[in-house]
Structure 1
Amino acid sequence: MNRTSPFRMRWLTSIFLAGILLLPAMQVFAQSSLSGLPFTRNFQPIEYKAGIQNWDIAQNRQGLVYIANNFGLLEFDGDQWQVYGVKNGTKVRSVAIDSRGRIYAGGQGDFGYFFPNDRGQLTYISLADSLEKKFRNFDETWSVYIDNDKVYFCTFTNIYVYDQHTFTIIQPSNAIDHSFLVNRQLYVNQPSVGLGVLEGKDIRFIKGGDFYKGKSIAAVLPLHDNHLLIATFQEGIYKYSEGISQPWREDLQAFLKGSIVNCVIRLRNGNFAVGTQNNGLLILDPDGAILTQFTSGRGIETTTVLSVYEDDLNNLWVGQNNGLAYVELGSPFTFINKQIGLPGSGYTAYLHNAKLYLGTNTGVYMREKNGKSDFKLIDNTRGQVYHIGEYANNLLIGHHNGALRLQEPGAAHLSYEPGSWIFHPLKDHPATLIEGVYAGLQVYDMVNGQWKFRKKLRGFEESSRVMAQDPSGDLWVTHGYKGAYKIKLSTTLDSITGVKFYGEDKGFPSNLLINVFKVRNELLFTSSSGVYKYDPKADRFIPDDFFSTRLGKTDQVWFIREDAMGNIYFISKNHIGVFRKNSLGEYILEENVFNKIRKYLNDDLVSIAILQNNEVLFGAKDGFIHYDPTMKADRTLIFQTLIRKVGTTYNGDSTLFFGNYSVHDSITGEQQLEYQPELPYKSNSMHFTFAATSYEGNADLTYQYYLENYEKDWSEWNTKTLKEYTNLKEGNYIFHVHARNVNGEISREATYTFTILPPWYRSVWAYSVYGISIIALLFTGFNLLDRKYQREQKLLEQKQQEELNQKDTALEKLSQQSHEEITRLQNEKLESELQHMNNELATSTMHLLNKNEFITGIKNQLAHILKKNGNEDVKKELTQITRNIEQNISADADWEHFQFHFDRVHGDFTNRFKAAFPTLSPQEIKLSAYLRMNLSSKEIAQLLNISVRGVEISRYRLRKKIQLDRNKNLQDFILNF
């Protein structure tokens, strides 16, 4: 033990030796009730991976257990252990939790509190470092107490009172041993002067406090009527009232002194739990009598208990010198086994004359109901025991070696026939007893108040472990793998008159696992599937409604037993429990509370024993399990499932959350917004570690979970406390988990909300870029398409235009061709007309020329004739004719006709030429026209009726009038005009 109080250490060695000497004597203070030792779960340092010594224990609202350990603050969540070190890595001696969830701790040379950081990991914050240097140097903080907002840190030199902002420092003039908070008053023990109470900054000594001068106090507890219970380490336990201290129990003082009391707490039921140095853990009643002792090999694994804590289910956490233990003191179940002197598997039990007899595979054991000793083996009973029962005031034993009768100080044989299974009294024959053995039946008679063996009955050689008698008097014997037999006995009960077999052909589902029990005053037959009863009219078996409607038609019931109150206890393949009968005669199934014991039950010969006071013993692999129906645990307390760690497997194993939430200055169980992470897509593989704060039944917990927005429903129940998810898509997720304990109770649900962000290429801004890009692409595409369309349209239009142009060109060409053709035709027509006109003009001209030539010829002939003829009259006439001819040659009518056709052919030449040269005479105009027609001078002379010489002269004159250069040809000029 490492406590450093100087007043305790001086006697440690001698007291420890005295305790060892007194240890055998503790047996006289053993448990006195019918129950055994509570279910206990032990934890070794190798399991929780911390120091061996555990000095103080506390539990928070979420059910997490915190322990002041040599290695730091030890945390247990029902599945995993975690150690949180203090700043200087020293031992933690004390722990307390306030209403806000802050975990205050005191240790060697330091004190402070643990609080979650931004990732939910508990972190130690030293308060001692805020003290002035002169107050900072202290040894150990053995106690931490919380009174509303005040926190008392108690050391051996000073008391530090913290009000959440500042410290008030109490500096007693005398050294302090230990301090204790009782009813909001701090009691302070100063061994040099005695016990006092803190008032303000001073310690006021209480009346009679000097009684404790020189004593080291382990605990101060409130009792009734302002009485105090004051436990010392080495001087026993005292009751204090009005200044007077007296031994609490005088008969225990010596034992307590030798035990060395380390700690004492008062339990909610009024009892006390006392942790000792040498004798383990003691449970005392309100008057100080020892009810139960736990020590090495007896519930717990060491003799030294340093701390005790009672949880909300009235179970105890026990801090030991080398480990931890969880004692289910509030459970209705206890073990009766080798730890209290009962070795072997349990088969049968009977309470007789205030003595409890238990039969195991090693013999019959007995303990006084109100005695102080452990179970003792009854002489001559060693070996397999199947049955213990009272028949006509005789306590008989069915034993592997034969039938026995218990008698002081041992047991005597009634028969040596091997394999005595059971005894059964016969209806209407109180002086006769039937025994079932390995091979058949035997008969016993009552002679002088004792049973005497009569004979073995012939005609039936089957194993007769289970039997019952029906109302008609027939005896039913069932065989585990053959079927059921109805046996008729003779009226003298000394022979078998008939045996009838019932199996699968008589209504049973098979010939296997058939047993018979008397329940509700009728015989029920269990089978491999369902429960049946016998129908004598049909002479066959039919399903029983009571069990079929409550457990199902296919459940395999192994054992049934009814107590005096009508409650029906049973064990089946799928269920274990009791149909509890209420005041209205209704049966209510109660089974969840029994689930915790199923794994301990004997699976060889299942048994349930109802004791006289309606307590129940279940045969177990190791002894018996005692059930006290009067103990009702508070099942309104719902345990909690907690998410203890959340991590991602990206880039190794990165923890995101360490299991603790906080709001401002308080620890809470609910996830706040700031604890809801938004994770990058690369962290989309998550794992969750969880646990449930249910510690009973060796914590046989199962879990269900599902991930909202990923899974549609809960998983199957399983024992895994780790769940992994990989390759989650982006989105919002909520992880749900809850637990089911051994009692079938389902915890509150725990949730964890988180968000997986999309990868950069699926993020909002990426989608924005995508959107913009798509819009840009669409715009560009549409623009390109539009341009292409426009281009195509243009090309199409161009093509169409070209086609139109081609068509237009073709049309135009055609038109042009047509036009040209028309023009050609017109030209041809014009040419034809012109030719015609030219022809006409030429014809006309030739006509004129011919006419003039002809006329000229005539005129010349007439002139010749005129010369030859002398007749005046003839001459006169001829002269007149000549004048007429000349007038005809010079007549203008022919010219005008000629000019009309000439101008049409030559583009109105005469008018244009006349306009260009207005001074020209008509004769010159005619000359110009004839020159235009490219007539020779001779031809012109004839047309003008002048000589050729006259034509030349006229040409000369014309040339001068038009002022034609001498180098230019007159006729060419006129042709080109």
Structure 2
Amino acid sequence: MPRCFQRIKGFIHLPIWLLLVSDLMSAPTSQNPFLAPYIRNFPKQEYQAYNQNWSLCQDKVTGFLYAANSKGLLEYDGTRWQTYRLPKRQIVRSVAIDPQGRIYTGGLGEIGYWQPNAAGVLHYRSLSGRIPGKLFPKEEIWNIVIGADFVFFQSFSTGFLYRNGRVSEVRLPGNVLFLYGVRNRYYLQSIGNGLYELVNGKFVSLPNTEPLGSTAVHAILPYGLKGLLIGTRDHGLFIYENGRLSRSNHPASQFLQRYQCNKGLALSDGRYAFGTILNGMIVTDTTGTLLYSVNQRQGLQNNTVLSLALDLKGNVWAGLDDGIDAIAFSYPLKYFTDPNGQLGTPYDAVLYHKKLYLGTNHGVYWCDFPTSGVPVYHLVEGSQGQVWDLTVLDGQLLCGHNAGTFRITPADGWESLFTQTGGWSLRALSSQPGFALQGTYTGLCVYRRDPNGKWQFSHSITGFSEPIRQVWEDAEGQIWLRHAHNGVYSVQLSADLRKISHLNWVASYSQEAGLKKQFGVSGSIRRIFGGWNDEQLFLRQDGSLLVAKPDGLKAEFSISHFAWMDDYENIVPLDSVYYLLCFEKGYALLPRQELSAVSNQQQTSKPLIRQLAVLNGNDSRNFTFRSASFLASFSPVLKARENHLVFHFSTPESIQEPLFSYRLAGLDEDWSDFSPLAEKEYASLRPGTYEFQVRSTSEGSVTSFPFEILPPWYQSVWAYLTYFLIGCGLIGGSFYVHRRQVATHQTKVRQQMEDKLAREQEKHRQQLMQVQKEKLEQDVIGKSEELANTTMNLIHKNDLLLKLKGEVEKLKDEVQQRQTIDQATGHINQLVKLIDSNISSRHDWKVFEKNFNKVHEQFFKRLLSQYDGLTPDDMRLAAYLRMNLSSKEVAKLLNITVRSVELKRYRLRKRLNLPQEANLNEFMMAF
């Protein structure tokens, strides 16, 4: 079998051989007569300091333990150890705590105290500078005693009293050992002179204590109402009462005399603990009877006890020459181990006829229960080998063995019932009175009670050859079988119990989930065991045990995962008083009467969130908390980038390795499984409000730590307000831009429309101009034609008038010949004059000039601007020539002769400076 207890790290269940006398039974009920209390070892590898631990004390406010170690001051918060070094890295020889929480330490040439700073980290303040004289640096402070209004620092030759901020030297009565405080009075031994009492800063000799001068006093404890119990190095115990000194001759005194008493401690229940130099520690009662004895062979890390301290729960801490041990007298579980391997590994147990029977891999052993001394185990002859099952049916003790099934008689006889190998589990069938079903290596067997009331093998069930490790019947009469390797079967047997009529395989027992829900148990469960009065015992995957009652009571016990036998875990209800827990190398008893006290204590105890580490690169921060009150006053508001957090938590005053369950409200919905892991890391948390919650038992008080992670600046209220304003601005700007775009588009469209319209207008204008041009051209043509017609009319008119004139003149000639000359001549002259005036009237010229300008725009202006000295006749001739009229036609228009026209043409050419070869008509037409 595996050696569990060699694999347990950090603690071990120790065997303590108990030597008891008559008054042992007066001890508390949890102190079973042959079982040891739980002891946890803290080796130097765990607390990461040196071997020797010279002094121990506990802070009554925080529950933290402090040890004066050769490396420095050790602090233990229930989960983690931390070392603080003195300024010159001296050995810390002594430590003590005053009611205000100041932690005083002493070393070579150094005294002072430690106090936590604002961040919760201890900082040291030296008092050595207040001590006058040059010899102090050579003094080593081995002892510190806290008085009502003073602190006493002591070396072996000098004492220093620290009071009201001042340090004064106290004159000692010679060479001394340690000062001890008993009932607010203070005593020390002067070597060779007896005991002295410190009174008003001076030492006064106690009468009749001179016999102690020949030895070294290492313990002064209260005895009775006013007496003193004095432990010496090599003379055992003395009692000083009513001014008289007497020597004790009890076994404890003899033990201390032989093994050299080094430290003494008064326990809370009136007993005493003594640490020795050579043989570990013992516990005695007030009469000097030795109750417990434990040394290195039996479990302590070292036989030399350098210091002892009592914690707030009544447990003893021992500072050793190599390590620190804690002995949990207040812990209900009490252990028995088998270091010599005599008994082997227990697989089952039962109480039968006031004897405790253990079925182990070596056979069946029994001892009286309860015993009045060290238990003596007896082997049932013939039972050698692997024992799986011990069951009492109808007053008969039946044993399932590797070699078969046997009956153990009250006289420890060994009777064979069936030789089928591997009797794993035998259970009576309530649905079939007088019959029992057994699971074996190769199937199922049926036993029946014969007429004499004895159980005998009946038959094997046919058609079924699976290995069945466990058999049980539920309240409805359903039979269940646990396969050795593969799940669970629910079966129905035939009426004659000879074959299986119905078989159904399931991965796990369905009612276990119902039990978890009924009792409100969370997390992963390894096994569930039925107990007394409907109690249920839930064995967690991590090895811890939860005992739950229907009335809601829950009590949890921290047990190492390695203590149990894998796949063979077993918890046995011995009777209505005890549960027996089978471990790989021993067993433990759990008294039921202490379940309520444990439950109440666990409900009131709260874990402490010890530290919060805010990881943020080089800007990381740590917050350390030393008490729940300080934690309650702290609710940090973290920056957005400070979203990587690590929580460290502990359970002060706890000796057992604690288990924790936690969740982060705001992120996690369910609690985590219980685990010894005492830290939890969260990375990349989103902005928001959170509350970290941790508990050490399922029904215990919850420690909460609220905090807030601010959103990044771009998610803050001001940022959102800015975003809102920016959004409004963007919307307004977008609306404005949209309006501008619409306006621009409209303008563009308008412009395009206007351009198009302009183009259309221009096109229309051009078309209109073309039309107008064409019209003008037509008008010009018409005007030209009209001008030509007018001209021709003028020509014809003048021609006609000339003809008329000629005729008139002819008439005149005739009249002159025929009538009165004067009268006829006057009428004829008047007619000629009228004709002459119409031939070349200025009105006709103006009409002609107006029409000519319309047809030949700016002709006269350009002609006059380029040629000076042109007369109106020249202008008129030029106009006629531009119209390409011949000289004869011009003559008619001007009412002159053709000769005169030629003369005018000649003059015009001169004025125009035309060369001889130039054609005047072509010049005028081209001008």
User: Is TM more than 0.5 here?
Assistant: yes
Conserved in 2, the CA contact under 8 Å of 1:480 and 1:512? Answer: yes
1:661 partnered with 2:625:
yes
Deviation at 1:321, TM superposition (A): 1.3
Deviation at 1:283, TM superposition (A): 1.5
Deviation at 1:292, TM superposition (A): 0.9
CA distance in 1, matches of 2:132, 2:310: 37
1:422 partnered with 2:407:
yes
Conserved in 2, the CA contact under 8 Å of 1:641 and 1:748? Answer: no
User: What is the 5 A alignment of 1:828-839?
Assistant: 828-839=781-792
Conserved in 2, the CA contact under 8 Å of 1:37 and 1:334? Answer: yes
Aligned to 1:411: none
Conserved in 2, the CA contact under 8 Å of 1:55 and 1:68? Answer: yes
Aligned to 1:96: 96
- Cα distance change, pair 490–398 in 1 and its aligned pair in 2 (3 A): closer
CA distance in 1, matches of 2:547, 2:213: 57
SS in 1 for 2:602: coil
Aligned to 1:40: 39
1:489 partnered with 2:468:
no
Aligned to 1:331: 331
Deviation at 1:89, TM superposition (A): 1.6
For residues 345-368 of structure 1, give each alpha carbon's deviation from its aligned partner in whole angstroms, at most 9, with x where no partner exists. 335465878x87767526746579
1:300 partnered with 2:312:
no
User: What is the 5 A alignment of 1:72-221?
Assistant: 72-98=72-98, 101-115=101-115, 121-129=121-129, 131-132=131-132, 136-137=136-137, 139-146=139-146, 151-162=151-162, 165-167=165-167, 169-172=169-172, 174-191=174-191, 194-205=194-205, 213=213, 216-221=216-221
Aligned to 1:624: 587
CA distance in 2, matches of 1:94, 1:433: 58
Deviation at 1:102, TM superposition (A): 4.5
Aligned to 2:613: 646
Deviation at 1:890, TM superposition (A): 2.2
SS in 2 for 1:258: helix
Amino acid at match of 2:53: N
Aligned to 1:816: 769
- Cα distance change, pair 380–879 in 1 and its aligned pair in 2 (3 A): closer
Conserved in 1, the CA contact under 8 Å of 2:56 and 2:67? Answer: yes
Conserved in 1, the CA contact under 8 Å of 2:34 and 2:371? Answer: no
Deviation at 1:219, TM superposition (A): 3.4
CA distance in 2, matches of 1:541, 1:327: 56
TM-score (normalizing by structure 1): 0.67
CA distance in 1, matches of 2:911, 2:455: 185
Conserved in 1, the CA contact under 8 Å of 2:102 and 2:114? Answer: yes
Aligned to 1:50: 49
Query: What is the alpha-carbon root mean square deviation over aligned residues?
Result: 6.4
Deviation at 1:466, TM superposition (A): 3.9
Conserved in 1, the CA contact under 8 Å of 2:52 and 2:322? Answer: yes
For residues 693-752 of structure 1, give each alpha carbon's deviation from its aligned partner in whole angstroms, at most 9, with x where no partner exists. 58555x26355455x6666655555555565566x37746868463546xx565744658
CA distance in 2, matches of 1:630, 1:173: 53
Aligned to 1:592: 556
CA distance in 1, matches of 2:393, 2:113: 67
For residues 616-671 of structure 1, give each alpha carbon's deviation from its aligned partner in whole angstroms, at most 9, with x where no partner exists. 544443233233344444434525254557375958xx9743x72379xx994468
Aligned to 1:883: 826
Conserved in 1, the CA contact under 8 Å of 2:695 and 2:701? Answer: yes
Amino acid at match of 2:259: S
1:902 partnered with 2:845:
yes
Deviation at 1:857, TM superposition (A): 3.7
Decide which moves more: 238-247 or 926-935.
926-935
Conserved in 1, the CA contact under 8 Å of 2:182 and 2:221? Answer: yes
Deviation at 1:886, TM superposition (A): 0.6
- Cα distance change, pair 593–42 in 1 and its aligned pair in 2 (3 A): closer
1:738 partnered with 2:694:
yes
Deviation at 1:885, TM superposition (A): 0.5
CA distance in 1, matches of 2:893, 2:189: 178
SS in 1 for 2:820: helix
For residues 184-236 of structure 1, give each alpha carbon's deviation from its aligned partner in whole angstroms, at most 9, with x where no partner exists. 44445444655444454444555666675565433344455344444344443
1:512 partnered with 2:475:
no
CA distance in 2, matches of 1:624, 1:230: 37
CA distance in 2, matches of 1:906, 1:545: 132
Please, which runs of 5 or more residues in structure 1 have no aligned partner? 1-23, 402-417, 426-431, 441-459, 581-585, 867-873, 910-924
Amino acid at match of 2:406: W
For residues 290-346 of structure 1, give each alpha carbon's deviation from its aligned partner in whole angstroms, at most 9, with x where no partner exists. 221111222323222122233344333221112222222212222223359964233
Choose the corresponding residue for 1:478, options 420, 438, 443.
Answer: 438
Aligned to 2:66: 66
Instruction: Calculate percent identity across the aligned residue pairs.
Output: 21
Please, which runs of 5 or more residues in structure 2 have no aligned partner? 1-15, 26-31, 483-487, 519-524, 853-870, 914-920
Aligned to 2:418: 439
SS in 2 for 1:225: coil
Conserved in 2, the CA contact under 8 Å of 1:527 and 1:557? Answer: no
CA distance in 2, matches of 1:477, 1:947: 171
- Cα distance change, pair 849–240 in 1 and its aligned pair in 2 (3 A): farther
CA distance in 2, matches of 1:930, 1:473: 163
- Cα distance change, pair 926–891 in 1 and its aligned pair in 2 (3 A): farther
Aligned to 1:274: 274
Conserved in 2, the CA contact under 8 Å of 1:603 and 1:621? Answer: no
User: What is the 5 A alignment of 1:201-350?
Assistant: 201-205=201-205, 213=213, 216-247=216-247, 250=250, 252-339=252-339, 343-346=343-346, 347-348=348-349
Conserved in 2, the CA contact under 8 Å of 1:526 and 1:556? Answer: no
- Cα distance change, pair 807–951 in 1 and its aligned pair in 2 (3 A): closer
CA distance in 2, matches of 1:338, 1:269: 29
Aligned to 2:808: 855
- Cα distance change, pair 932–159 in 1 and its aligned pair in 2 (3 A): same
User: What is the 5 A alignment of 1:366-377?
Assistant: 366=367, 371-373=372-374, 375=376
Aligned to 1:10: none
Conserved in 2, the CA contact under 8 Å of 1:275 and 1:304? Answer: yes
Decide which moves more: 355-364 or 543-552.
543-552
Aligned to 1:701: 659
SS in 2 for 1:303: coil
CA distance in 2, matches of 1:803, 1:523: 102
TM-score (normalizing by structure 2): 0.70
CA distance in 1, matches of 2:120, 2:229: 41
CA distance in 2, matches of 1:725, 1:465: 48
